Structure 1
Amino acid sequence: MDPLVLGGFNPVQAFPYCEEDWGSISFFLVASADDVALCLSQGADPNARDEDGFTPLDRAAAYSKTLAVVQALLDAGADLNARTED
Structure 2
Amino acid sequence: MTPALKLDKPPVYVLHHRMLWRTFKSLQGELVKHDGGPAPVHIDKVLWHMLRDRQILCWFDPLNEGDMGLGSALPKGRKVEVLTTPKKPK
* TM-score calculated relative to the size of structure 1: 0.25
Q: Which has the higher contact order (CA 8 A, sep 6+)?
A: 2
Larger Rg: 2
Q: Greater strand share, 1 or 2?
A: 2
- TM-score with structure 2 length normalisation? 0.24
Higher percent of residues as helix: 1
